[in-house]
Amino acid sequence: MYSKIISKSLLGMLFVLSLVNGLALASALPKSPRSSHPEGVPLIMFSTDVANGLISTHGAQGSSPVSFSATATYQRDTAVAPQDVDDGFTLAMALNLDAQGLVEVDSIIPTYGNAPLPEEMAVALFLTRIMKQRPDIPVIPGAMAQASQTLHGTSQWFSGANVQIEGANGSFAISCRNSGVEMMYRRLINSHKPITILAIGPLTDVACLLTTSPEIKDKIAEIIILASRLEGKSVSVNGKIVNDFNFRMDPIAGALLLGSEAARKIPIRLITFSLSGQTSQSGDLIEFNSSTLKGPTPATPESQFSLNLLLQSSVPRMQFWESIFGTPQGPFDQYTLTAAVWPELFNCQPALAYIQQCPTPAWSPLYPTDSEGNPTQKPYNAPDNRCMDHGTENGASLSEIPAELVVSLNLNNPGPLIRGITGIDGNIPNLNQRALPVTACTDFASPAARQLFQELLYKYTW
């Protein structure tokens, strides 16, 4: 019998069992069996930084962030804090939809991001194997860290030449393959139909897949990415400036993904913050708590166990978020799942995606200092900055954000894919390509669609 109150020791034992059994089961799984789901049901693969219940740092802290001077204050990203819960809500919802025959979950690839990868693997296996009792779904670890030194200057050879990141023989392509990317490739190549990839974490693994295996393009139905902002639009929650986390964690991988040969052949859908940020704002909040999430009717011991654990593990994060923004956290990643299953709920249109670099890095020769060598501005916060919110009074909080993923609805002026200072002053390769044609989701299709979105989340999140 499942208990509403789960002891710490029991949780620890379950986590360990889920890790051991989950990895053993995953290694024995068939490559991609023919599905019993209806033909029209979307087949989906997750690249996720699921971290429900973790009190930890963000992932890959060995690479980012960096203190730029001996007097720099302690970086907020290195602080231990309750980490994000929306990835877990999305996975739980997807597995519930799978059980109803509305979607088919092919596989789950955790990647660093909200928390370090090892801890995220524990969460992903626990959620899939224990909470949802799905040992048939592969859960395989992806990237441990970013594509390159995001907040440092480009690595150089002894001769003074830059180490090339991009291209088939670049440092990213020759080093990025991991067990998660290998599994993504195998599942795609052996699938009975094209798979939709939901990218709800940093873009490192998806970039690696497209960069190293461009031939896989015909096996991908669509890539739906939770990242990007509309051109000229601020990104804020209740008036407080925030950052585009999934892109921010690895802007180099984001650039390599958008600049890949395969990206020009695969439908790519960007869920912009103009859409995903709406339901985290005061006055339009979709709130997850015991009053809004009830689980299925009639309830079962299994559904109550899953619901109670989702709610209990989210409390520290909701309190942490509310202490900063004044309201609990609303949904973000669930927009991608909804776009895969019910795309008619959103206003999505053709657009152009590009990457805007933000001047000026602390290592740049253009970085200003006074006569004693002390910096006179924050990194990436030069005045008259082309990056939104940078170079303003609020911009100081963005001193670790070297670039932004921007969506333009003006199709008549594509412009370059990579904009701003490149090379030693930006660490993002130029790539010499035009902005990428994408589909951008920017709003709900109607007030009724907004209401249905909320009802679907409340019905299937447990």
Helix or strand (DSSP H, E) at 23: helix 8-27
User: What digits encode the pLDDT tens for the residues 266-296?
Assistant: 999 999 999 999 999 999 999 999 999 999 9
Under 8 Å between Cβ of 45 and 90: no
Which pLDDT belongs to residue 27?
Answer: 42
Which pLDDT belongs to residue 209?
Answer: 99
Which pLDDT belongs to residue 259?
Answer: 97
In terms of DSSP bridges, do strands 195-199 and 240-241 run parallel, antiparallel, or are they unpaired?
unpaired
| Token pair recorded at residue 129 | 């194997």
Which pLDDT belongs to residue 192?
Answer: 94
Which pLDDT belongs to residue 22?
Answer: 43
User: What digits encode the pLDDT tens for the residues 209-268?
Assistant: 999 999 999 999 999 999 999 999 999 999 999 999 999 999 999 999 999 999 999 999
Q: What does pTM read for this prediction? A: 0.90
Which pLDDT belongs to residue 36?
Answer: 67
Under 8 Å between Cβ of 93 and 460: yes
Sign of CA pseudo-dihedral 243, 245, 250, 256: negative
Which pLDDT belongs to residue 30?
Answer: 39
Instruction: Give CA separation, 107 vs 28, 248, 398, 402, 420, in Å.
Output: 14, 25, 34, 32, 37
CATH of 8-460, picked from 3.30.420.40, 3.90.1150.10, 3.90.245.10, 3.30.70.20, is 3.90.245.10
User: What digits encode the pLDDT tens for the residues 32-64?
Assistant: 444 567 778 999 999 999 999 999 988 876 444
Under 8 Å between Cβ of 127 and 92: yes
Q: Vertex 127, ends 126 and 128: CA angle to 5°? A: 95
36 alpha carbon, distance to own chain's centre: 29
Buried b (16+ CB within 10 A) or exposed e, 82-99: bbbbbbbbbbbbbbbbbe
Measured between its terminal Cα atoms, the distance across the chain in Å is 18
| Per-residue model confidence as pLDDT tens for the chain (462 residues) | 434 334 454 455 444 444 444 444 444 443 444 456 777 899 999 999 999 999 998 887 644 444 334 444 444 445 789 999 999 999 999 999 999 999 999 999 999 999 999 999 999 999 999 999 999 999 999 999 998 877 778 888 999 888 999 999 999 999 999 999 999 999 999 999 999 999 999 999 999 999 999 999 999 999 999 999 999 999 999 999 999 999 999 999 999 999 999 999 999 999 999 999 999 999 999 999 999 999 999 999 999 999 999 999 999 999 999 999 999 999 999 999 999 999 999 999 999 999 999 999 888 888 999 999 999 999 999 998 999 999 988 888 899 899 999 999 999 989 999 999 755 555 788 899 999 999 999 999 999 999 999 999 999 999
Instruction: Give CA separation, 93 vs 84, 126, 264, in Å.
Output: 16, 15, 30
Q: Where are the domains of the chain?
A: 8-460
Cis omega (within 30 of 0) on the bond before 65? yes
